[in-house]
């Protein structure tokens, strides 16, 4: 019996609304998961996340094993207590770093050796070690080590990545010792639909409590992403949650939901905030622009976040021009709130059978350049 359960509550086309239950509470889907890579959201507090309406958050085991070390987190009560978050939590294994830190790693059939980008020390990750780290951290959902491959790549290289991913997923499942964590195998296969299907079919045999789609947002054409994702989701069990890793613009969120995805994460809301960009229903605002200098309006007059109910565009433009760190916090609060509200509105549209119209209307607004 898995520590995680999922209940599908409504569908509209391929779009799904459901509920995930974990040992640390529930999260509704479609879910956008804010990313606290090193057990901290950039410039946001845990209370900010709660106020914004976050249901589940994400951290990265690769980074936490380096600093402060998974043993430190374990000895301080586990990741939930360590960062002060008492809700559902997911940790990634380091599979994304297989791609993003390609110049610092060496792969073999048993695992991956990294040269630390922090101090130059050599780090060894195997499927078993990745599970061991995440069991020490204690997140509700954990991810196996996989081979995330670049785009474009030769088909033979993608086939090898699929074979490695399947073998490592099997080893990860065998390595689990905690029964209160749910491991989600990751489907790889690049933009080759047949390889995605082969990988998904092999992983479904593991009868996992949920499944992830990895290897997207690595340079592939955007329109191709959604065709391949839909084909992947079509193979995965209807009664298990589906997680798309590392994708999260507002438009991408809606496209992924339309393809049958339940969970997504992305650093973009806080990264955009640090570059002085704000999400709105009428496109993205560039807060440095002169046009905002005397604007008394909030970033978004339909938003009830602390930023929009307190501060004007003119004030945020001033902070942006002065590079005041406060603007990172204020825009992060707004952008994360925007994504979480989009997830709730998407869920309501699915439940009401109006998702297609909601998506069309929302995308029309997002396409407006009101910078």
In sign, the C-alpha dihedral spanning 214, 235, 175, 20 is positive
Dist. CA 305–CA 52, nearest whole Å: 7
Dist. CA 301–CA 281, nearest whole Å: 10
DSSP-derived secondary structure letter, 290: G
Task: Clarify whether 295 is annotated catalytic.
Answer: no
- Residues 56/87, Cβ–Cβ less than 8 Å: yes
Dist. CA 200–CA 10, nearest whole Å: 24
Taking residue 320's Cβ as centre, other Cβ atoms within 10 Å add up to: 23
Dist. CA 173–CA 330, nearest whole Å: 41
- Which is catalytic among the residues 92, 146, 252, 262? 92
Token digits for 274? 């640090």
- Residues 182/142, Cβ–Cβ less than 8 Å: yes
Distances (CA, A) of 38 to 41, 60, 224: 8, 6, 32
Task: Clarify whether 194 is annotated catalytic.
Answer: no
Per-residue exposure over 98-125, b if at least 16 CB sit within 10 Å of its own CB, e if not: bbebeeebeeeeebbebeeeeeeeebeb
- Residues 300/330, Cβ–Cβ less than 8 Å: no
Distances (CA, A) of 365 to 92, 182, 346: 33, 38, 15
Kindly give the pairing relationship between strand 242-244 and strand 263-266: parallel
> 325: exposed, middle or buried (C-beta count within 10 Å: 0-12, 13-18, 19+)?
exposed
> 282: exposed, middle or buried (C-beta count within 10 Å: 0-12, 13-18, 19+)?
middle
Active site residues: 92, 265
């Amino acid at each position: 019996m898995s520590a995680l359960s999922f209940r599908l509550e409504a569908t509209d086309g391929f779009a799904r609304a459901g509920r995930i239950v974990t040992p640390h509470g529930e999260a509704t889907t479609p879910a956008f998961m804010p990313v606290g890579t090193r057990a901290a959201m950039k410039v946001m507090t845990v209370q900010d996340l709660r106020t914004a309406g976050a249901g589940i958050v994400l951290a990265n085991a690769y980074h936490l094993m380096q600093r402060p070390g998974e043993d430190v987190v374990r000895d301080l009560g586990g990741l939930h207590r360590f960062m002060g978050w008492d809700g559902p939590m997911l940790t990634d294994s380091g599979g994304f770093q297989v791609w993003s830190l390609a110049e610092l790693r060496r792969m073999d059939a048993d695992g991956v050796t990294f040269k630390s980008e922090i101090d130059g020390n050599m780090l060894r990750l195997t499927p078993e070690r990745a599970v061991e780290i995440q069991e020490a951290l204690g997140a509700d959902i954990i991810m196996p080590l996989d081979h995330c491959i670049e785009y474009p790549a030769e088909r033979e290289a993608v086939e090898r990545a699929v074979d490695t991913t399947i073998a490592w997923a099997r080893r990860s499942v065998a390595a689990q010792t905690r029964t209160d964590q749910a491991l989600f195998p990751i489907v790889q296969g690049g933009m080759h639909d047949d390889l995605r299907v082969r990988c998904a079919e092999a992983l479904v045999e593991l009868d996992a409590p949920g499944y992830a789609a990895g290897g997207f947002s690595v340079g592939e054409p955007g329109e191709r992403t959604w065709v391949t994702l839909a084909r992947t989701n079509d193979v995965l069990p209807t009664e298990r949650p589906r997680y798309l890793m590392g994708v999260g613009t507002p438009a991408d969120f809606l496209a992924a939901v339309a393809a049958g995805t339940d969970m997504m994460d992305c650093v973009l809301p806080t990264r955009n905030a640090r570059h002085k960009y704000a999400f709105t229903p009428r496109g993205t605002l560039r807060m440095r622009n002169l046009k905002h200098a005397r604007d008394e309006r909030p970033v978004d007059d339909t938003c009830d976040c602390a930023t929009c109910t307190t501060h004007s565009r003119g004030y945020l433009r001033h902070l942006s021009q002065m590079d005041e760190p406060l603007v990172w916090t204020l825009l992060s609060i707004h952008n994360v709130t925007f994504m979480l509200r989009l997830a709730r509105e998407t869920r309501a549209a699915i439940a009401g059978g109006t998702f297609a119209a909601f998506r069309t209307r929302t995308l029309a607004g997002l396409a407006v350049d009101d910078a």
